[in-house]
Structure 1
Amino acid sequence: MKVYDIAVIPGDGIGKETVPVGQKVMETVADIHGGLKFNWHSFDWGCEYYLKKGRMMPDDGIKTLSQFHHIFLGAVGNPQVPDHISLWGLLIPIRRQFQQYINLRPVQVLRGLTSPLKQVDATIKFIIVRENTEGEYSSVGGIVNRGLESGETALQVSSFSRTGCERVIRYAFERAKQTERKRLVAATKSNGIIHTMPFWDRIFKEIAAEYPDVDAELTHVDALAAKMILKPQAYDVIVASNLFGDILSDLGGAVMGSIGIAPSANLNPEGRYPSMFEPVHGSAPDISGKSIANPLGQVWTACLLLEHIGEYSLARRVLDVVQDLLEERIVTPDLGGRYKTKDVEHALITRLKNV
């Protein structure tokens, strides 16, 4: 029996409605497997916790989470809490303390979804590998001459280490090796950013020499964004720095027809620390508590967790059922359906049991 202890952070808003659906799906496939079990341990951290306690998680939150195999996260956000407080108080400390240096975002037009790119009739399926712990999202910087009308200046310093660049680029090459076409594109902007991007490019070329079987290419990020729209079927794996990867992966969510169902994984590939799995959608306070939250992003996120622990067939089984529901329009109002969250959950579980 494989047993996994999973820390659960439902977070805020619709996260409290969608996370239980993801858990139920994982419990169902574990029962089907017969030799798999998930032990859940829930924590009420997030913006609501911040409004009560003045912090997003307890001072020993990282130490607490270190006891678990992985982390299953919902949505985080509240209009009363500035985004930089919620992000730097919970998500970024977890990502950095646990060296979750890979942010993995699949881009795939599922059966039952229509890409807004009407001219594309080929299969769109690729992954974006985003550096997740350094780069442009650095805490180095500050405000100079604060309050002076003519002299107030904000400074933000990007931080690119050789270790940080090498490990994310090498991971992307390894993923590209596993694809049929073995194509890898790296986002850069070395024509305008004079220090960090040429450094990134140089390391990319060094590692590319070790993978002669991979078709490796450097592309300026603005051109890459345009090509993702014009010819998204051309990609297998895209690797990018923290900021570029963040933007491109959200563009990828739009390409596949709904950012509301997009999943992500924050990975520590070596397994020394827990990895964290979260949907891309926000906490959606405008629909929280109305029982119409779309749980499919959380369910697809569960698929990424299943893949990470080696349960590929179970992950495919879940994603196949998700696509069946999309085709049959058993979906919530945000996808044009008339079903409630619990209706979608019931359909998911019933189909999984009957496959």
Structure 2
Amino acid sequence: MSRYRIAVIPGDGIGVEVTAPTVDLLEHLADRAGFEIAFDHFDWSCARYQETGAMMPPDGLDQIRDHDAILLGAVGWPGVPDHVSLWGLLIPIRRRFQQYVNLRPISVMPGLPGPLRDPGEVDFVVVRENVEGEYSEIGGRFSTGTAQEMAVQEAVFTRAGVTRIVDYAFDLATTRRGHVTSATKSNGIVHTMPFWDEIVRERAERQPSVSWRQEHIDALAAKLVLDPSSFDVIVGSNLFGDILSDLAAAVAGSIGIAPSANLDPERDFPSMFEPVHGSAPDIAGKGIANPIGALWSASMMLDHLGEKRSGDALLAAIRATLADGDVRTPDLGGTATTRELAAAVQEAISL
């Protein structure tokens, strides 16, 4: 019997509310499918920061280093600056554990119309470089408080980092419809983006069966809205991938249902799975948060762990529940609670 140990970090706000039923549903799936799953819960959050001055303890990463995966709810709360919460928890996990692939599947779910009149069949994935690029620590503030004050932020693109994310995207395309779109801005960013483009061209030669093109990020953002069904795999830098994946989730109908995976493809470290939505302080505590993003992220976690049958069953149950339309949270036009929607998904699971 397969056994898995999962680190659970509910985080802040609705992260706590969507994580609890996700854990319950995973336990249900494990019982049905015949594998064992154990959860270790960690209170790392903005609430912890406000009490102790740190999002997690100094040895926090060592505490979760040997887990099979990490399930994260959401991070962020009023009174704690975003750069403090992210650089105190999420980004250290991604970087220490070499989770260099941020994977975000985008799909228009049945029965859940998006904002576009005729989006076509939307089914693509954004592959975002997750540990370098524009989100570096190099830079600083100078002459603070004077008329000459300035801020410098350096982007870092390495051959190793760009190569491995591009290879991942092309390899993924061979399992899908065989097309990659590379997000760039080499007509305006004179060093890093031409470097990115050169490596994309080099690595594309490894996969002659995969067609590809590059698109400037501004034009690509427009095409995502005008013709989202034309995309298969989109690969982008840390910043471009971050922006495109949130835009794409909105095109698909709701950022509340969007999942993500932070992957270490080499599996030297645990990978982390989280819904794309934030902590939503405006509805926190009301019990009406949409759990679909967390549940879909759990489906991705099961796939990563090798429990694909269970992952597929969970995703199929999500699709069936949304298609039925009887049980929906307020953001989807219904009146159901978080727990009621999660329970409906669990009821729809067929194994």
Distance in 2 separating the partners of 1:347 and 1:254: 24
Q: 2:133 aligns to what?
A: 135
Q: 2:88 aligns to what?
A: 89
How far is the alpha carbon of 1:107 from its aligned partner? 0.5
Distance in 2 separating the partners of 1:162 and 1:113: 41
Residue type of the alignment partner of 1:130:
R
Q: 1:70 aligns to what?
A: 69
Residue type of the alignment partner of 1:24:
D
Q: 2:98 aligns to what?
A: 99
Contact between 1:137 and 1:158, CA under 8 Å: does it hold in 2?
Answer: yes
**Does residue 26 of the first structure (1) align with residue 10 of the second (2)?**
no
Equivalent position to 2:334, from 319, 337, 340: 337
**Does residue 237 of the first structure (1) align with residue 236 of the second (2)?**
no
Residue type of the alignment partner of 2:200:
F
Distance in 2 separating the partners of 1:316 and 1:177: 20
How far is the alpha carbon of 1:93 from its aligned partner? 0.3
How far is the alpha carbon of 1:289 from its aligned partner? 1.3
Alignment map for 1:55-204 (pairs within 5 Å): 55-120=54-119, 122-149=120-147, 151-179=148-176, 181-204=177-200
Secondary structure of 2:289's partner? coil
How far is the alpha carbon of 1:346 from its aligned partner? 2.1
TM-score normalised to structure 2 length:
0.98
How far is the alpha carbon of 1:350 from its aligned partner? 2.2
Residue type of the alignment partner of 1:275:
S
Q: 1:318 aligns to what?
A: 314
Residue type of the alignment partner of 1:294:
N
Contact between 1:95 and 1:101, CA under 8 Å: does it hold in 2?
Answer: yes
How far is the alpha carbon of 1:287 from its aligned partner? 1.3
**Does residue 48 of the first structure (1) align with residue 44 of the second (2)?**
no
Worse overlay, 13-22 or 320-329:
320-329
Q: Sequence identity, in percent?
A: 52
Distance in 1 separating the partners of 2:309 and 2:113: 25
Contact between 1:18 and 1:294, CA under 8 Å: does it hold in 2?
Answer: yes
Equivalent position to 2:276, from 280, 298, 301: 280
CA distances 1:110-137 after superposition (whole Å, capped 9, x unpaired): 11211211122x2100100000000000
Equivalent position to 1:247, from 234, 243, 247: 243
Distance in 1 separating the partners of 2:342 and 2:236: 35
Contact between 2:169 and 2:180, CA under 8 Å: does it hold in 1?
Answer: yes
TM-score normalised to structure 1 length:
0.97
Contact between 2:109 and 2:323, CA under 8 Å: does it hold in 1?
Answer: no
Contact between 2:4 and 2:36, CA under 8 Å: does it hold in 1?
Answer: yes
Secondary structure of 1:9's partner? strand
How far is the alpha carbon of 1:349 from its aligned partner? 2.1
Give ranges in structure 2 of 5+ residues lacking alignment: none
Contact between 1:21 and 1:298, CA under 8 Å: does it hold in 2?
Answer: no
Secondary structure of 2:348's partner? helix
Equivalent position to 2:255, from 249, 252, 259: 259
Alignment map for 1:303-314 (pairs within 5 Å): 303-314=299-310
Distance in 1 separating the partners of 2:128 and 2:249: 14
Q: 1:10 aligns to what?
A: 10
Distance in 2 separating the partners of 1:334 and 1:39: 32
Residue type of the alignment partner of 1:8:
V
Contact between 2:66 and 2:269, CA under 8 Å: does it hold in 1?
Answer: no
Contact between 2:321 and 2:348, CA under 8 Å: does it hold in 1?
Answer: no
Secondary structure of 1:45's partner? coil
Secondary structure of 1:92's partner? helix
Distance in 1 separating the partners of 2:99 and 2:73: 17
Residue type of the alignment partner of 2:175:
Q
Give ranges in structure 1 of 5+ residues lacking alignment: none
Question: What RMSD over aligned residues (CA atoms) do the two structures have, in Å?
Answer: 1.0
CA distances 1:70-116 after superposition (whole Å, capped 9, x unpaired): 10000111101000000000000000000000000001001121121
Distance in 2 separating the partners of 1:348 and 1:238: 29
Secondary structure of 1:345's partner? helix
Residue type of the alignment partner of 1:264:
S
Distance in 2 separating the partners of 1:183 and 1:345: 34
How far is the alpha carbon of 1:342 from its aligned partner? 1.8
Worse overlay, 49-58 or 303-312:
303-312
